[in-house]
Amino acid sequence: MNEILDFQYILDQVGPIEMALKGMIIGIVASAPMGPVGVLCVQRTLNKGRWYGFATGVGAAISDLIYAAIAGFGMSFVVDIIENPIIAYWIKVAGSILLFIFGVWTFRSNPAQQIRPVSKNKSNLVHNFITGFLVTLSNPLILFLFVAMFGQFTFVVNNFVPQIVGYVFIVVGALLWWFGLTWLINKVRNRFDVRGIWIINRVIGVIVMVVSAAVAISVLTGNFFSFN
């Protein structure tokens, strides 16, 4: 019972800074796995240049924001239910389990199977942005990932300003990931190959599994994960 009361206290203390940190983590986790757009970003960075890869990531980040808003808007309809401490407690547990499964799937997936020939024609940054946006938008399953993360991080709150800050920083987190990834790929372009993509994916999978397991344990033991 004390754990549930502590959880209600956490719900009541969510502010803009905490939502910014949560949004940034969610943006990074949603972008990091080497799915089709990740592989496309790496290919374009290697074949066309860093900023063409980054433009692809920017398009993906905007698409992620749309799916995040859809997931959050849907959950906001039941925000009174979500803020019930008992229900919120089990939502966090379920979110941790789903994220752990996502980490296992990421670890076991083979990004090399998604590699496709990329035209040497650089086209333009707008074209790369649009294709990154459309490739990500064509994968509605990301909604389930956002629902899981929103539940785990108590992201949907009944407070307008912190909520908007959270959404903004989902994009910030995604852009930080794509900026860092394209910078790294550009730096090691002469030594980077398909195995490099595979290694990145496995590392990401392990990180997601470890974090989700840690949050699940903290929830179950009453030592809730919080930025406060």
- Tens digit of each residue's pLDDT (9 = 90 or more) over 124-183: 889 999 989 998 888 887 888 888 888 777 787 777 788 899 999 999 999 999 999 999
- Tens digit of each residue's pLDDT (9 = 90 or more) over 187-206: 887 776 667 777 777 787 88
CA gyration radius, the chain: 18
**168-183 core/surface letters (b: 16 or more CB in 10 A; e: else):** bbbbbbbbbbbeebbe
Cβ pair 105, 148 in contact under 8 A: no
Cβ pair 104, 205 in contact under 8 A: yes
Most confident range, picked from 1-10, 177-186, 204-213: 177-186
Angle separating helix axes 160-187 and 36-47, nearest 10 degrees:
40
Arithmetic mean of pLDDT over the chain: 77
Check residue 3 and give its pLDDT. Answer: 47
Residue with tokens 């490739």: 135
Cβ pair 44, 53 in contact under 8 A: yes
Residue 12 has pLDDT above 50, yes or no: no
Listed in sequence order, the residues at least 6 apart from 9 whose beta carbon sits closer than 8 Å to its beta carbon are none
Q: Please compute, for residue 217, the number of CA atoms within 13 A of its CA located in the half-sphere on the CB side.
A: 6
Helical H segments across 48-159, by residue range: 50-76, 79-82, 85-108, 125-137, 142-152
d(CA 92, CA 148): 8
Check residue 145 and give its pLDDT. Answer: 84
Looking at per-residue confidence, does 139 or 29 come out higher?
Answer: 29
